[in-house]
Structure 1
Amino acid sequence: MIDSKSTIFKSTIFNDFLDKIKSKNSILVDDILAPEIAFLTTFLNFFSKKDILLISPDRRKDLLYKNLSSFNENILEFLSWETLPFEEIKPSLDIIGQRFDTLNKLAFSKKNHLLICTLHSLLQKIIPSNVLKDLSIHLKINDTHDFENLIKKLVSLGYKKETLVSDKAQFATRGYIIDVFPTNLDHPYRIEFFSDEIESIRTFDIETQKSVEKKKSVDIFLADELKFLKDEKNLTNIFSYLKDDFLIIFDDLYQIEDSLTALNSLKIKNSKYFLSFDSFLENIKKNQKIYFSENKIDEISFVTYNQKPNQKDSTEISFEIFQKHLDALLFKHPFITYLDFLNLEKLENILDHIETFIDKNLKVLFLYQNEAEKKHIFELLDKKTENISLDKNKNIFFEKGFLSSGFIIADQNLSIIPYNEITKRKVIRRQKFREAYHSPVAEYHSLEIGDLVVHFHSGIGKYIGCDKLSNHLGVETEFLILEYAKGSKLYVPISQSHLVTKYIGSSEALPGLTLLGSNKWQKTKVLAQKQIIGYASDLLHMQAVRELEGGFEYDKDSEETQLFDLDFPYIETQDQKRAIEDLKNDMMQKKAMDRLILGDVGYGKTEVAMRAAFKAVYDGKKQVALLVPTTVLAMQHFDTFKERMSSFPIEIDVVSRFKTAKENRKTLENVKNGNIDILIGTHRLLSKDVSFKDLGLLIVDEEQRFGVRAKEHLKKIKKGVDCLTLSATPIPRTLHMSLIKVKDMSVINTPPQDRLPIKTIISENDDEVIKNAILREKSRQGQLFFIHNRVESIYKRLEHIKKLTKNCTFAVVHGQMPTEDVDFTFHKFKKGEIDILFSTTIIENGIDVPNANTIIIDRADSFGLADLYQLRGRVGRWNRAAYAYFLTPKNRQISEISQKRLTALLEAPSFGGGMAIAMRDLEIRGAGDILGIKQSGQISNIGFHLYCKLLKRAILSIQNKKETLFIETKMEFSYPAYLPDDYIPHETLRMEIYYRLGEAQSNKAIDAIKIELEDRFGSLPDPVKELISLSKIKIFANQNSFTHLKFGDFTLYCERLHKSKKTQKNLILPKKEKILKFEEDVLNILKKSFEIL
């Protein structure tokens, strides 16, 4: 194995460079690319023994960081807020956490630092290092802290107290437990005290709230930086955190100059929060500077040469940048870029170059990021260099690492070839901010006064509040108060709150309240149950037919398929892994696959689809059809599939209106002959002239966007063919869990770890708001979408916005334009040649531009909730803070439904909020669209949640060949079994636990809740133990058709409805001593008395 750094750094030219550094003169290096800058900077970091400040333009920073990080583990990054100080928008919590993590490392670590930042983050003033310790909390096991003072400290640092921790900068308390999500960490933490001593520290999962991993300590940093900057009088800059003699490197001078121009447009010149550029230059006057430029020396402004007699090896030059004249020594770097002397666009040319190097006994270093890349390099070289043993050749080296392009170091006879130089694949840096973004969705528990609700036994009522009253035993108990027809009230003990769910119908029309005491509700429920049983039978019949039709049975993954999976340049999320595992298991069955992949926009459904497509082609020698709703999406998928599969001999093509008729005919001919493996297209694929030689897999993206005829044609194609459907339209978890036994579904709820939550702003149409949004995005060299959904006025709106901004390029796309023009404009926007894209909702699906991270939506009140959610998902697809502006008419009242939609978007997180959006969408527009017209009537009659509950039971009963009974055992008991207020102080949390206990279908599920309660709230008090025990008895009672169990001191009254026969019994109970023993006795008595096996 070669040690690349030590070998390369032996170069005499590198040592000349070090000598120039020691001379303390400023140095200019021209005609140099990012990977070469990374090598020189790493070299300086190793040998200069100084702190290095590397200033990089916004658009290049990630590329440079990715190149540097392969060879240097000590890089620190200092991010800018990406918001403006005079705006109302707070900076991203993830960015604040990362900033303070970096500042703490700079302040308290003695290492020589390599710090990379943009001009924006560099000029921003910061908190002095001497107050940094006071703005953090260090907690360690066995340390003692006053519990109340710790809570006060969290509040002072900007942490907000919540019932549940679901986001950064939040904390929650329960007894002597504190949950907190530090801004600087990617997990929330649970700190448990015994008196004032820290007994335990562990991370926990946001979604389940369960503990995950034990930790020894945790550092909690400031959450509200802006507040402290406002209060702090002695603000400083990043230079004060570095050693006095730090080196300063400018990466690509002219792009940095562009950044300065953009910053100057933000009115920051006289801001107390920013250092002026002149002050910045004054600050670094005495520091040695290195200037890198991609331009050649003769392309740099006003260069003059001044060769001094005693400096034969150095050329002293002057040049102009930032409107200043600067002096430096010119250094000619030792790198030869491949593009300078070879056309390496084709793989064959690259392999020829490698072979030439090897034949001449020159050194070749291959860089790979994973084992799949390494294996692929070996395979390519084996075919090309048959007479050379790669394992034994001392001039061929493999090392794990990354460079964006390769180069040669001539005086070392060394050629460095990264894997992506061979494949020409672009790699975008992914920056991990946190493990999860989505918070638990309370689908049933968050009731508000005035909500319509459904009680399982009593029907539709109105929730009017919660109160503590004495129960029949004289014990003070919490009750939900429900109002019914004619003003009658029902008091439901909170322990039975699982019987109550929020009413959601199939339309916006509201139902009447049920009259208590009448039998109308029971008749309604019985009728619904009959319909549901019929629907469940139909679903199961369709499943059986599909199994009888059969399909192609694949073998386990081939070596090539395993290699393709390993070749994924990122880490799959857990949900992605499950979805991939699900579909591969399907493909290895005898029946044809018919799986639905559900996931929010940007969650990685396409990668899942590509795994299925690759397996079909390689392991089954089958063809694949990918059907999409729009031409734009077809072209995007075509590019994505081509790039992802570029290392493998797979033929991919697209049928598109952007191609000529002759080109499309040629493509279809190749498909018919089997020369094309994967064909991508819109509904054109459903035409009669499209014929496959051996179609094995049909992938349908967003099936709900196709018309009735297209869907009917799809049904014919699906027979005997594996089918994978992708959808970004979420369905509620309740429905998903109900259908899971009859519909193969995989849900991807987790976003990639590099995503920052999208900031959502609802504002009246205001020029100043729009102008600031554009300025902020332009200051970081980003791009924007502006959505205006009326073609007749889009150009007029464009002209108005143009007047608000300077130096911006604009373009327009809409559905009435020729498709060639649309594609051409999209292509230019993706390449970064357009700053602001004015568009109708044509961009809702299919355009993915990582550099576009602000979207402004005109007349947001006129869009549906799901549409707004999809549009918001066009941004935030990179590791930058993203912004979504929903504009409403100025000085005009919008409708109540529009207000509800916009409020739902504010409340739902931008990532993982799909389920929450689905529930709110149901509340706003009804549930009729999901299950069809036939079922929507029953949803109106009994409510969506009860419908899903009964559907789930019906499917299970039919599958298990049992009588379909919808029994909910009524339980009465004379001893305390509840969740005490001092154990779980928050009503919403208590209702959630009661609901989950009531809905549990097995003892295993109850035991899991018990463990969770101990983890989240501490040791179980006796009333909770009693509740757990009764919950297990109730499961047994429900499963064995008991309608009523009433516990006395020594008696148990039972009612059972079995095979249409009702049985009543009074049973004798033993004396109650131990809770677990009593539970066991009760179950044994019931089994024996009713002869239950």
Structure 2
Amino acid sequence: MIYNSGISKSKFFKSGIYKSRFFDEFLDKLKSKNSILVDDILDPEISFLTTFLNQSLKKDILIISTDRRKDLLYKNLSSFNDNLLEFLSWETLPFEEIKPSLDIIGQRFDTLNKLQVSKKNNLLICTLHSLLQKIIPSDVLKDLSLHLKINESHDFDDLIKKLVHLGYKKETLVSDKAQFATRGYIIDIFPTNLDHPYRIEFFSDEIESIRTFDLETQKSVERKKSVDIFLADELKFLKEEKNPANISSYLKDDFLVIFDDLYQVEDSLTALNSLKIKNSKYFLSFDSFLEEIKKNQKLYFSEKKIDDISSVTYKENPNTKDEKEISFEVFQKHLDALLFKHPFSTYLDFLSLEKLENILDHIETFIDKNLKVMFLHQNETEKKHILELLDKKNIKISLDKNENIFFEEGFLSSGFIIPDQNLSIIPYNEITKRKVIRRQKFREAYHSPVASYHSLEIGDLVVHFHSGIGKYLGCDRLSNHLGVETEFLILEYANGSKLYVPISQSHLVTRYIGSTETMPTLTLLGSNKWQKTKALAQKQIIGYASDLLHIQAIRELEGGFEYDEDSEETELFDLDFPYVETQDQKRAIDDLKNDMMQKKAMDRLILGDVGYGKTEVAMRAAFKAVYDGKKQVAVLVPTTVLAMQHFDTFKERMSSFPIIIDIVSRFKTAKENKNTLENVKTGKIDILIGTHRILSQDVSFKDLGLLIVDEEQRFGVRAKEHLKKIKKGVDCLTLSATPIPRTLYMSLIKVKEMSVINTPPQDRLPIKTIISENEDEVIKNAILREKSRQGQLFFIHNRVESIYKRLEHIEKLVKNCTCAVVHGQMSTKDVDLTFHKFKKGEIDILFATTIIENGIDVPNANTIIIDRADTFGLADLYQLRGRVGRWNRSAYAYFLTPKNRQISEISQKRLSALLEAPTFGGGMAIAMRDLEIRGAGDILGIKQSGQISNIGFHLYCKLLKRAILSIQNKKEASFIETKMEFSYPAYLPDEYIPHENLRMEIYYRLGEAQSNKTIDDISTELKDRFGSLPEPVKELISLSKIKIFANLNSFTHLKFGDFTLYCERLFESKKTHKNLILPKKRDILKFEEDIISMLKDSFNISS
């Protein structure tokens, strides 16, 4: 049948849709100052009515919601209300003086500023927590922000003082919010209220330019005309404020108050009162707020019928059946209101059904009953998908008339029917049944490119490329050969000898990591032992590099399945992702799809923190393998819990497509597993998920095309040997948050391809890490904080024999908490049931062993307490911490150690590493730190472990990378690091880059650069970050390019005199010495070209 349709008629939704008797009467009663109660109403219907009021009333609206409901409410309202704002709470206990998350502070003041400057009506959502929290008054707040524009004049020093006054901390380098850094007349700052850091450049006292910059590269990105900088330390000013306000004081008079759901708001108030909120100096009492809004109109919504949650008195009145005057009890008070019957109906009620499989099966029924159908979609892809699904149901759409079926841009979490309007509203997610997710902003992450090499501490063992193993004694400032005072790294060698390494050569120095915990002997300076040791290592490295490349060549010869470009179904699957991909996710997806379209089999590592979206990347590959290649996929995971999590995730994500997914698991009977394996063998199953069981001899695939290995570091040697057999000719994708060093370094030296996901998902807040002795007060406060925001907790106790006793102790410590236990010795049925209850929110605290380390994802659980954290490995602790902080709330991780007892040195190092790891994307740093703590062992094989001990892991891998590149380029392996001596003032002046660590980083990157393009990029970056290049920096850039040429062409030594250049070259085992005459006139802009040309001519080096 063909139906007429209108597409995206927003005026229809915003006006005509509300033309009915109910809406007219509802609005009239509100305008007449009546308070109204609407009960038995669902979330999307509440949002629908609120949108109507927002568009009809000329006043501000304050919506009081709860932590559990506000995200869904925001998502439902955001499509249709441009003036929607949210005011977040600190997410701390009323009596705690803990600084809130910087992201929360920024969002709070961004909202307050918008309320201050807004000339239109505002629609504001807050929770009871944020509503009752005292805040800085509006008139005071005006003086606690900065609005900077280009071409404005500001005293530079005064501006710095203002930033400090606002709570911004001066740092060497901006790496997080509420930080600023200065270099000359440049200020880098990351305002708490913005998503990106800003670079403000002055000319004298005038702002010459304002640019955003990238945290990771520190390079400017986009020019801006202005920047707003808001307060960074709310607590400090609130302590000083004598007359604090609350959020309602920022609204225009006569604002409407909406209680989102009475029952849940009352529960939230009970939880807050249990925390003795009345005694807190930072909170107003709820009674005083009710007194404050006594004259304001109030609209109460209740999902339950009011009779079910309160004693109700019905008053006599002559009004219509749709409204009744009532008195009811809530918040321990008697309130009066008009009880209105809403006009909405569910699909089930309207169709008189008990269960609804597919709403599209009933479109013709709706039309036959004279209902118009409005489909809500968020983009053109969703609209196209709806049209395709309707076409498959033989429902043809005519787009030229506005009848029967409408398409409107927007979102609601579920649909409903308005019988009086003859209208059925069907959101896209009613058709796909996908989860409703609200996400807003990306969080950038900064990682120093040299952190793993140059985070040196006094006493560390180090390796100097030319001089061998020594001990780092720190830095000192001394005069160099030009009489210029500069920094030197001081290294101690055997017999107390010292080597002073100019900071410009700091790239030659790396931290020493051996293969065992045995300490090596320091090298004797002046002896040739180090050169012999290095030469022997280099010889074995060349052999090992050849072996690695041989294995890679065999894998390429074996080939793999060559996929075509994405099919239409694959594109649709990608677009059906309910989040917005981070840039890193997009790159990883592009990388793996490019791999899959090559003739050779893919072997790629996806490295990313827990919860950073690796599973979605893997599902893109799996879908393409099944749909575009008609191949089967195996997903190998280390634990049954993770297998179940992936099974649920894959099934839900692919539910709109005819893909058969199954699991082999101890949670199933032997007969069920047998049937599953038979279906795998015959090709009836597309994707099989399981643990080591997948590697068993009786598991046979009809046509395996892709193997996904999650958390590879958790598998043993036997499993990995079996994996090698399976991987022949099969695409392989490895996922890891903290990869084993072998996998990590195979990726870093390009033997295995790697994609890194460093960018946190949208709205992700940092996890606050607390290391504490086992104190009852600490545990109690952690639980109360989470309970106050209707959240849940994990409590990790890794001993089954004492876990129930621990639970009993906590239940006595904190009353009214629902607790449960889960561990590996429980029956599979009980484990599954417990997890299910926890995910549904029926359990407040889940006591568990490390069974939850991988595979349980509960966004509402944002506190984890780990008992005896000193007994866990570093990677395990990092994984456990990643169980929380998976949503848009502040997360807390408590690592408890025994009270009044000294823990081991290695345990102290592990716990310190967790504090030092980057706030976001620290998986690689943790993997490297774990390597440093434990030693490299035999991760590259027993044969290589001796050489790693001899020269250190970092230097070994550096030489291995060079060997591989040389062999790949069909050149003789060169391990030469040209020694450069010169009398030119080539350095980074202190006044140009004032901070030692930054100078060391730049020197390191220049020293490690392998191409002129890299040097040019660094040069451009220096101009952007620090201003025009002074002469010494230009000299340094020029000499760095000469050094690259010298390294690549086997020059061991270049010494620049006043008139001559001494050259020493080791080529084809022959050493050549020459003295060349330098040009009389030296043009710094052409210097490297002249020198390189001279070297080519003198040594017959072809271009």
TM-score tier after normalising by the smaller chain length: over 0.9
Corresponding position of 1:68? 77
User: Any residues of structure 2 matched to 1:919-930 within 5 Å, and which?
Assistant: 919-928=928-937, 930=939
SS at match of 1:447: coil
Pairing of 1:95-110 with structure 2 (within 5 A): 95-110=104-119
1:1018 alignment partner in structure 2: 1027
How far is 1:1080 from its partner? 1.7
Within a 5 Å distance, the mapping from 1:263-412 to structure 2 comes to: 263-309=272-318, 314-342=323-351, 349-360=358-369, 362-386=371-395, 389=398, 394-412=403-421
Instruction: Write the letter of the residue equivalent to 1:189.
Output: Y
Structure 1 counterpart of 2:1028, one-letter code: S
Deviation at 1:668, TM superposition (A): 2.5
Question: Counterpart in 2 of 1:21?
Answer: 30
Mapped contact 1:599–1:730 kept (Cα < 8 A)? no
Q: How does 1:618-1017 map to 2 (within 5 A)?
A: 618-730=627-739, 736=745, 739-928=748-937, 930-1017=939-1026
Indicate if the aligned counterparts of 1:1044 and 1:1056 stay in contact, CA closer than 8 A.
Answer: yes
In structure 2, what is the Cα distance between the partners aligned to 1:844 and 1:441? 30
**Which residue matches 2:566?**
557
Q: Aligned equivalents of 2:1072 and 2:785: distance in 1?
A: 73
The residue number in structure 1 matching 2:516 is 507
Partner of 1:177: 186
Q: Secondary structure at the match of 2:513?
A: coil
Deviation at 1:711, TM superposition (A): 2.4
1:991 alignment partner, SS class: helix
Matched to 1:56, the amino acid is S
Give the alignment's TM-score, normalised by structure 1: 0.98
Tell me the distance in 2 between the aligned counterparts of 1:913 and 1:708.
26
Aligned 8 A contact 2:93 2:788 in 1 = no
Amino acid at match of 2:986: A
Distance 1:86 1:737, change over 3 A: farther
Opposite residue 528 of structure 2, the aligned amino acid is N
CA distance in 2, matches of 1:427, 1:1005: 44
Shift of 1:389: 3.8
CA contact (8 A) 2:175 2:445 kept: no
Letter in 1 for 2:841: G
1:654-689 CA-to-partner distances (Å, cap 9, x unmatched) read: 122222333323323332332221121222222333
Give the Cα separation in 1 of the matches to 2:759 and 2:353. Answer: 39
Change (3 A) 1:448 1:312: closer
Does structure 1 residue 442 correspond to structure 2 residue 423? no
Quick one: distance in 2 between partners of 1:649 and 1:142?
60
1:439–1:501: structure 2 CA closer, same or farther, 3 Å change rule?
closer
Q: Indicate conservation of the 8 Å contact 1:738/1:951, yes or no.
A: no
Aligned partner letter, 2:473: I
Given residue 1004 of structure 2, which amino acid in structure 1 is its aligned partner?
A: Y
What is the CA distance between 1:1028 and its match in structure 2? 0.4
Does 2:1094 match 1:1085? Answer: yes
Does 2:430 match 1:428?
no
CA shift in 2, pair 1:251/1:733, >3 Å = farther
Answer yes or no: is the 8 Å Cα contact 2:938–2:944 preserved in 1.
no
| AA matched with 1:29 | V
| Structure-2 separation of matches of 1:996 and 1:1035 | 12
> Cα distance 1:30–1:439, how it changes in 2: closer, same or farther (>3 A)?
farther
CA offset at residue 342 of structure 1?
4.4
Cα distance change on mapping 1:1057 and 1:275 into 2, 3 Å = same
Q: Distance between the aligned counterparts of 2:229 and 2:1100, measured in 1?
A: 59
Task: Report SS of the residue matched to 1:468.
Answer: strand
> Take 1:258 and 1:438, find their aligned partners in 2: how far apart are those partners?
43
* One-letter amino acid matched to 1:63: L
Conserved 8 A contact 1:250-1:290 = yes
- C-alpha root-mean-square deviation of aligned residues, in Å? 1.8
Whole-angstrom CA distance in 2 between matches of 1:143 and 1:839: 59
Distance 2:421 2:580 in 1: 36
User: How far off its partner does 1:361 sit?
Assistant: 5.0
User: Residue 415 of structure 1 corresponds to which residue in structure 2?
Assistant: 424
Measured after TM superposition, the shift of residue 981 of structure 1 is 0.7
Which residue in the other structure is 2:4 paired with?
none
8 Å Cα contact 1:504/1:940 also seen in 2: yes
Q: Which moved more, 1:724-733 or 1:696-705?
A: 724-733
Q: Does the residue aligned with 1:854 lie in a helix, a strand or coil?
A: strand
Distance 1:933 1:89, change over 3 A: farther
- Where structure 1 has 5 or more consecutive residues not aligned to the other structure, the ranges are none
What is the aligned partner in structure 1 of residue 142 from structure 2? 133
Which shifted more, 106-115 or 873-882? 106-115
Counterpart CA distance in 2 for 1:176 and 1:492 is 31
Q: CA 1:67–1:461 in structure 2 vs 1: closer, same or farther (change >3 Å)?
A: same
Task: Kindly indicate whether the alpha-carbon contact (under 8 Å) linking 2:94 and 2:283 is maintained by their aligned counterparts in 1.
Answer: no
Report the Cα distance in structure 2 between the residues aligned to 1:406 and 1:152, rounded to whole angstroms. Answer: 54
User: What does residue 44 of structure 1 align with?
Assistant: 53
Cα offset for 1:343? 7.8
Against the structure 1 CA distance between its residues 434 and 119, is the aligned structure 2 distance closer, same or farther, given a 3 Å change threshold? same
Instruction: Note the alpha carbon deviations across 1:371-430, whole angstroms, 9 max, x for none.
Output: 332222111110213455466673211122111110111121111001111122112211
1:33 to 42, 55, 69: 42
The amino acid that maps onto 2:1003 is: Y
Distance change >3 Å, CA 739–CA 222, structure 1 → 2: closer
Q: Distance in 1 between matches of 2:686 and 2:799?
A: 40
Counterpart-to-counterpart distance in 1, 2:693 and 2:1069: 56
Q: Secondary structure at the match of 1:665?
A: helix
Alpha-carbon contact 1:371-1:566 (below 8 Å) kept = no
What's the secondary structure of 1:1055's corresponding residue? strand
SS of the equivalent of 2:550 reads helix
- Report what 1:458 is aligned to: 467
Q: Which runs of 5+ in 2 are unaligned?
A: 1-6
Q: Secondary structure at the match of 2:1005?
A: helix
Helix, strand or coil at the partner of 1:299 = helix
- Give, in whole Å, the separation in 2 of the partners of 1:957 and 1:346: 66
2:165 match: 156
Deviation track 1:933-970 (CA, whole Å, cap 9, x = no partner) reads 33222222111221121011000011011111210111
1:1046 and 2:1064 equivalent? no
Between stretches 732-741 and 1023-1032, larger displacement belongs to 732-741
CA 1:975/1:690 → structure 2, altered by over 3 Å: closer, same or farther? closer
Q: In structure 2, do the counterparts of structure 1 residues 948 and 387 end up closer, same or farther at CA, with 3 Å as the change threshold?
A: closer
**Partner deviation per Cα, 1:242-267 (whole Å, 9 max, x = no partner):** 11200000011011111011111212
**1:464 positional shift:** 1.4
Residues 343 and 882 of structure 1, relative CA distance in 2, 3 Å threshold:
farther
- Tell me what 1:77 maps to: 86
Aligned partners of 1:307 and 1:314 also within 8 Å:
no
Matching residue's letter, 2:393: K
CA contact (8 A) 2:757 2:921 kept: no
Q: Deviations over 1:193-245 (max 9, x none)?
A: 11111111111111111111111111111111111111111111111111120
Match in the other structure for 1:529: 538
1:329–1:929: structure 2 CA closer, same or farther, 3 Å change rule? farther
**In 2: Cα distance, 1:1047 partner to 1:714 partner:** 55
How far off is 1:126 after superposition? 0.5
SS in 2 for 1:928: coil
Q: 2:605 aligns with which of 596, 603, 615?
A: 596
